[in-house]
Amino acid sequence: MEQLLLLIFLPLAGAILTAFAGQSAKIVSTVISVASLGLALFIAGTFIPDASTQFEVNLPWIADLGIHFHAGIDGISMLVVLLTNLLIPIIILSSYKHDYKNPAAFYALILFMQTGLLLVFTAMDAFLFYIGWEAALIPIYFICAFWGGKDRIRINMKFFVYTIAGSLFMLMGIIYLYLQNPADNFDIQAFYALNLDSAQQGWIFWAFFIAFAIKMPIFPFHTWQPDTYTAAPTQGTMLLSGIMLKMGIYGVIRWLLPIVPTGVQDWSGLAMVLSIIGIVYASLIAFTQKDAKRLVAYSSIAHVGLISAGIFALNQQGMQGAMVQMLSHGINVVGLFFVLDIIFSRTKTNKIEELGGIAKAAPQLAIVFLIIVLGTVALPGTNGFIGEFLLLMGVYNYGIWAAAIAGLTIIFGAVYMLRMYQNVMLGKTNTLTITFADIQGTEKLVLYIICALIIILGVYPKPLLHITEASVQHLLEQVNQKLTSVK
The partner residues of 57 in beta bridges, in order of sequence, read 71
pLDDT digits (tens, 9 = 90+) for 430-448: 888 888 888 888 999 999 9
CA distances 104 to 25, 100, 210, Å, are: 5, 9, 35
Give the residue, 333 or 481, on which the prediction is more confident: 333
Count of other CB atoms within 10 angstroms of residue 478: 15
Give yes or no: residues 107 and 185 share one domain. Answer: yes
Give yes or no: residues 182 and 316 share one domain. Answer: no
Give yes or no: residues 270 and 419 share one domain. Answer: yes
Give yes or no: residues 101 and 129 share one domain. Answer: yes
CA distance 85 to 122: 13
pLDDT at 485 over 70: no
SS3 351: strand
Q: How confident is the model at residue 390 (pLDDT cuts 50, 70, 90)?
A: very high
Give yes or no: residues 255 and 364 share one domain. Answer: no
- Does the N-terminal peptide bond of residue 220 adopt cis geometry, omega within 30 degrees of 0? yes
pLDDT at 1: 61
Query: Count H helices, E strands: the chain?
Result: 22, 2
pLDDT at 250 over 90: yes
CA distance 223 to 240: 14
Q: How confident is the model at residue 70 (pLDDT cuts 50, 70, 90)?
A: very high
Domain total of the chain: 2
Q: How confident is the model at residue 40 (pLDDT cuts 50, 70, 90)?
A: very high
CA distance 287 to 285: 5
Count of other CB atoms within 10 angstroms of residue 38: 12
Give yes or no: residues 359 and 430 share one domain. Answer: yes
Q: What is the CA radius of gyration of the chain?
A: 21
Give yes or no: residues 143 and 233 share one domain. Answer: yes
Contacts 24+ apart (CB under 8 A), 174-177: 174/126, 174/127, 174/130, 176/200, 176/204, 176/207, 177/126, 177/204, 177/259
Is residue 312 within 8 Å of 421, Cβ to Cβ? no
CA distance 111 to 225: 22
Is residue 2 within 8 Å of 59, Cβ to Cβ? no
pLDDT at 43: 93
The partner residues of 187 in beta bridges, in order of sequence, read 125
- Three-state SS annotation for 451-482: HHHHHHHHHCCHHHHHHHHHHHHHHHHHHHHH
End-to-end Cα, the chain, rounded Å: 39
In the 8-state DSSP scheme, what is residue 150?
T
Give yes or no: residues 242 and 279 share one domain. Answer: no
Report, in this order, helix, strand and coil percent for the chain, each rounded to 5: 80, 5, 20
- Cβ neighbours of residue 419 closer than 8 Å, sequence gap 6 or more: none
Count of other CB atoms within 10 angstroms of residue 189: 12
Q: How confident is the model at residue 21 (pLDDT cuts 50, 70, 90)?
A: confident
Q: How confident is the model at residue 486 (pLDDT cuts 50, 70, 90)?
A: low
Give yes or no: residues 238 and 306 share one domain. Answer: no
- Final residue of a structural domain among 259, 281, 309: 259
Give the residue, 208 or 152, on which the prediction is more confident: 208
CA distances 460 to 78, 143, 269, 382, Å, are: 18, 36, 34, 9
Give yes or no: residues 267 and 250 share one domain. Answer: no
pLDDT at 373 over 60: yes
pLDDT at 453: 95
Give yes or no: residues 305 and 243 share one domain. Answer: no
Ramachandran class of 218: left when φ > 0, alpha when ψ lies in -120 to 50, beta otherwise: beta
Give yes or no: residues 152 and 279 share one domain. Answer: no
Ramachandran class of 187: left when φ > 0, alpha when ψ lies in -120 to 50, beta otherwise: beta
**Residue 59 is inside which H or E element, if any?**
strand 54-62
Is residue 113 within 8 Å of 140, Cβ to Cβ? yes
pLDDT digits (tens, 9 = 90+) for 295-346: 999 999 998 999 999 999 889 999 999 999 999 999 999 999 999 999 998 8
Mean pLDDT of the chain: 90
- Final residue of a structural domain among 259, 283, 305: 259
pLDDT digits (tens, 9 = 90+) for 204-248: 999 999 999 998 888 888 888 888 888 888 898 999 889 988 999
Count of other CB atoms within 10 angstroms of residue 219: 22
pLDDT digits (tens, 9 = 90+) for 166-197: 889 999 999 999 999 888 889 998 999 888 88
CA distance 21 to 104: 6
pLDDT at 150: 77
pLDDT at 92: 94
- Final residue of a structural domain among 226, 259, 292: 259
Parent domain of 463: 263-487
Largest pairwise CA distance in the chain = 70
pLDDT at 148 over 90: no
* 242-269: b (≥16 Cβ within 10 Å) or e: bbbbbbbbbbbbbbbbbbbbbbbbebbe
CA distances 142 to 135, 159, 216, 370, Å, are: 12, 12, 20, 33
Count of other CB atoms within 10 angstroms of residue 423: 15
pLDDT at 484: 76
Position 239, amino acid? L
pLDDT at 88: 95
Is residue 452 within 8 Å of 385, Cβ to Cβ? no
pLDDT digits (tens, 9 = 90+) for 95-146: 988 888 888 999 999 999 999 999 999 999 999 999 999 999 889 888 888 8
SS3 71: strand
Q: What's the gap between Cα 88 and its chain centre? A: 12
pLDDT at 487 over 60: no
